[in-house]
Amino acid sequence: MNVKQFLFKAFLLSLLTWGTIEAVYYFDPYKKYDLETSYNAVIIDKYKRLQETASPKIVLIAGSNFAYGINSKLIADSLKKPVVNMAIHYDYGTTFMLNQISSELRKGDTVIMGFEYIIESKGNKSEQLLMARYFPKAKEWMEFDDIFEEIREKSQLRINIFKTVLGRLLKNKEITYQVSDTTSVFFRGGTNEYGDLISHFNNPPMKVIPRAILSDKESLKDAIVDMNFFYKTMKARGVKVYFVYPTYSKANYDLDKAIINRYQKEYQKYAQFPILGKPTDFVFADSLYHDMAYHLTKKGGDIRTQKIIQLVRKSGL
Amino acid sequence: MLFNSIEFLLFFPIVTIIYFLLGHKDRWWWLLVASCVFYMVFKPEYLLILGFTIIIDYFAGIWIENAVGKRRKWFLIISLVANIGVLAFFKYTNFAIFALAQANIAHFKLLDFILPIGLSFHTFQAMSYTIEVYRGNQKSERHFGLYALYVMFYPQLVAGPIERPQNVLHQFYERKYFDYQRVTSGLKLIAWGLFKKVVIADRLALFADKVYNSPMEYEGVPIIVATIFFTFQIYCDFSGYSDIALGTAEVMGFKLMKNFDRPYFSKSISEFWRRWHISLSTWFRDYLYIPLGGNRVGKTRQYFNQFFVFAVSGLWHGANWNFIIWGALHGFYLVFARVTQKPRAAFNKITGLEKKPFLLKTLQAFTTFCLVAFAWIFFRGNYLEQSQLFHLVTHLFSNLPILKEFLTFNYISQNVFLNFTLIEFLIAIGLIIFMEIIHYIQRDKSIRQLVSTFPIAVRWMLYYFFIMAFFILGVFDKPAQFIYFQF
C-alpha cells in the first residue's frame, strides 16, 4: 500500500470522526432553544440597547458584580442620562469586554468600569466563543495569541457542544427558566430593560456567603494596561471613563484584605484613568449578598448604586 | 511541545511526511531541525544548554576511544562532570540553598530560573553514551549531527525512554521505508497513548486533585480513593507519554525500548521495578548499582547499595525531600522483602497459601499495589507543605466509617465519589477496568496485531468508536502537562 492510499484513508477517517462533531455543531438541535435561554445570549439584548440608546449615555461594564448589584434606573434618574448595563460575567476578560463596547461609544458618553479582583486581560476563550455562537459580532471582540490557540479553542468548543448535545439527548429533559421562579438566575430574559440582572430577586439568598478565591500570586497589571488603552482611546473620542472598585462581602474582605490592598496599590501605580473611591467603599455586610462575595441582593445593589452615584457626582459628572 | 497539543497535531504529520519525502541522506538533519523546534517551543534559549553537553559528550566520546590508559578515564570524568554539573546546577542548586538555609548553615539568595524541560532524561541519555564508549560497548559517533540527533531525537527527548546508544545510533544509519503495517501500528500506539493520557489520566486527575489540592479537608476514605486514582493516573500519564513516543518513532521506522510492562500486575516490589520506567531502572542498575558492587558484595553492603540507588533515583525525579523519601521508601521495601524472604516463605507454607498459587499471587499483587500506592502519596505531595503531607499520611486510616455508615449514598457520594456524580465515578472506574482488560489481553498477543486481522468494516467501526470515545470522554479543558515533564 502506497503513501497516497494511506493518506487518503487517514483523511477519510478524520473526516468521518471530526465531520460528526462539525455536523452536531452546525445542526445542533438545541441551538434555537439556547439562543432564547442561554445567559451568554443575553448579549443580544444588551448590545441592542447599547446601539439604540442615544448619546450622551452611561455605559456600565464589568463582570457579574455589576450585573447583580446595580440599579441602573436609579443612576439614570439621578444623573439624568440613559444607562446601559453591559455587565455579564468577569470571565470574558477586559480585552473582550472593552472591545465589546468601544465601537458604540460616542462623544459625551460616560463609561464606568467595575471589574472584579479576579479579572484577567485575556479572559476565557470558551466563554467568548460561546457568546459568538449566539451573537456572531462577538468574534470581532476576540483576540487570540496565535493560530494554534484559535484552532485549539474552536475545536474545544465543538467538542464541548458535541458532549453537551449527547448528554441532553440522553437526558431528554430541558430546564425552564423564569424570573418569577425561586431557583434560576443565569438565563437570557433574566435582566431588566437596562441590563441589570433581576432573576435572583425572588431567590432566597445563601445564609453563609462562601469563601471567594483570590490568589496571592496574581497581578491585575495586564487588565490595567487594557483599561489604560481603552481610557486613552475614549478620551480622544470625547468619552469619559471612570473606574470603581467591585463590591466584596465583609467576611471575605476581612480574609482577603492584604491581597485587595496589593491590588489597590497596583491600580494606584499603573492606572491612568480616574478611580472613584476605594475598595472599602463597596464592602458591605454579608446579609446584603446573594450567593457569593461579588453578588449583591436587590437591597445591597441599591445601596451600592447610591454609593456610585455619590462618587460620580463628587467627581463632577 | 506537548504530545497532547494542537501544535503537535500539526507538527507530527508535517515532520513525518517531509521525512518520508526526503532521501535517506537528508533525513538526519530534518529530524534534528524538527527536534530543535520541538524543544524550542518550551524555552528556546535552553537549546544552548543541550548544545553545550552535546558538544562536550561528542568530543569526549572520540577522545575516550582514541585515548589509552588513565586518560580514557579522565575524559569520561570530564564528560560526567559536565553532564552532572549542568543537571546539578539547574535542578539542585535551589534545593541545596534551601536546605542550607533550613539547617541554618548558610543563607544564599535562591536562583531565579525555570528548570529546563526533560533535563534529567536527556542528561542521562547523554551520559549513557560516554559510559558505553568507555566500556567499549559502543563505538564513538563521528557524525556530529547524528550524535546530536541521538540526544535530541524528539519522540524521547523530554520524557524518555532513556535510550542506550547501542539501541538507537545505528538506526539513524539504516534506510527507512514507508511500511503501511508499521506506520499504522505506530499510529495505533500513539492513539492508545493519547487515550491513556487525555481520557484516563486527565479524568482520574480530577478526582486525585480534589483531595490533594486541599488535603487538610479530608481524612480516611477520600484520601485512599484519591491515592488509588492517582496511582492509575500517574501510570496512564507516563506510560501514555511513552506509548506516544514509541509510536511516533515507530511510524518513522525507529524502535525505542519498552518503558512499561503492566507494572500494577507485579507480585513484588522488585518485579514492579522491572516493569515500571524500565529505561530508568535499568540505567541505575547498569551505571550505579553494578558499579557499586551489585550482587558481588556482602549482604549488608547489597542492602545498602539497593537502598542508596533508590534514594538517588528519588532525587533524580526532583530536588525535593518528597522524592527522596519516595525513592528511599521503595529502597526500604526492597531491602525488607529480601530480609524477610525466608519467614514469608515459611508463613506461606504454614498457612497453606503455597498450595494455592492463584490466591498467593493475587495477595502478593494486591500487597505490592498497596505499597506502591502508599509511596505515591509522597510523590504526589511534591507541591504540598510538610504539614499537609504529614496530614495525608497520618490520616490515611482516620475516621473510617462502620459498614452501616459506609453504605449510605450520602457517605459514598461525599467520600468515595468525592462529590462527583455517580456517572462520572463509574466512567473513571470503567476506564481503569477497560485499560486493565486491554493489558490482560496483551499478555499473550498484541492488540494492534489482533485488530489488524479483523474485517475492514469491523476495523473501521472500531476506529470510529474509539476516536469518538476519545472526544466524548477526554478532558480537553486545558492541555494538561505530562507529570514526568517536570523531571
Write the pLDDT tens digit of every residue in A78-134: 999 999 999 999 999 999 999 999 999 999 999 999 999 999 999 999 999 999 999
Which residues from chain A sit within 8 angstroms of residue B471, using beta carbons? Answer: 17, 21, 159, 162-163
Q: Per the structure block, which three cell numbers stand in for A18?
A: 471530526
Instruction: Tell me the ipTM for this assembly.
Output: 0.77
> Is the CB of A166 less than 8 angstroms away from the CB of B472?
yes
Judge: A148–B5 Cβ closer than 8 Å, yes or no: yes
Q: State yes or no: cis peptide before A136, omega within 30 of 0.
A: no
| Cross-sheet strand order for the sheet of A275-276 | A83-85, A58-61, A110-113, A240-244, A275-276
Task: Judge whether residue B348 has pLDDT over 80.
Answer: yes
- pLDDT the model gives residue B235: 95
- Pick from A22, A125, A159 the residue to mutate for testing the B interface (most B CBs within 10 Å): A159
Which residues on chain B are in Cβ contact (under 8 Å) with A151?
6
- Tens of pLDDT, residues B25-80: 999 999 999 999 999 988 888 889 889 999 999 999 999 999 988 899 999 999 99
Give the number of A-B residue pairs with CB atoms closer than 8 Å.
41
Neighbouring residues of A275: CB distance < 8 A, sequence distance ≥ 6: A242, A243, A244, A245, A267, A268
Band of the pLDDT at B478, cuts 50, 70, 90? low
E-assigned strand segments in chain A: 58-61, 83-85, 110-113, 240-244, 248-249, 275-276, 283-284
Catalytic residues of B: 317
Geometric angle at alpha carbon B36, from B34 and B37, rounded to 5°: 65
Structural domain containing residue A214: 3-315
| Domains contained in chain A, number | 1
Residue A185 CA to residue A171 CA, distance in Å, equals 22
- Of chain B, the percentage scoring pLDDT greater than 70 comes to 99
pLDDT band for position A257 (cuts 50, 70, 90) = very high
Instruction: Name the band, by pLDDT with cuts 50, 70 and 90, for residue A1.
Output: low
- As a whole number of angstroms, the distance between CA B226 and CA B208 comes to 4
Which of A58-62, B75-79, B419-423, B443-447 bottoms out in mean pLDDT, i.e. has the lowest? B443-447
What φ, ψ does residue B266 adopt, rounded to 5°?
Answer: -65, 145
Residue A192, sorted as left (phi over 0), alpha (psi -120 to 50) or beta, turns out to be beta
Domain ranges, ordered by start, for chain B: 6-176, 182-486
Across the interface, whether the CB atoms of A163 and B471 are under 8 A apart is answered: yes
Q: What single-letter amino acid sits at A210?
A: P
CATH number at residue A65: 3.40.50.1110
Contact (CB<8Å) A1/B467: no
**Contact assignment for A162 to B463 by CB distance below 8 Å:** no
Count of Cβ atoms closer than 10 Å to residue A162 Cβ: 20
Q: For residue A93, is it left (φ>0), alpha (ψ between -120 and 50) or beta? A: left
Nearest-CB residue to A151 (from B6, B463, B471): B6
Written as one letter, the residue type at B23 is G
The pLDDT value given to residue B301: 92
Measure CA B6 to chain center. Answer: 23
Which one of A172-181, B374-383, B403-412 scores highest in mean pLDDT? B374-383
Chain A residues whose CB is inside 8 A of the B180 CB are 1, 5-6
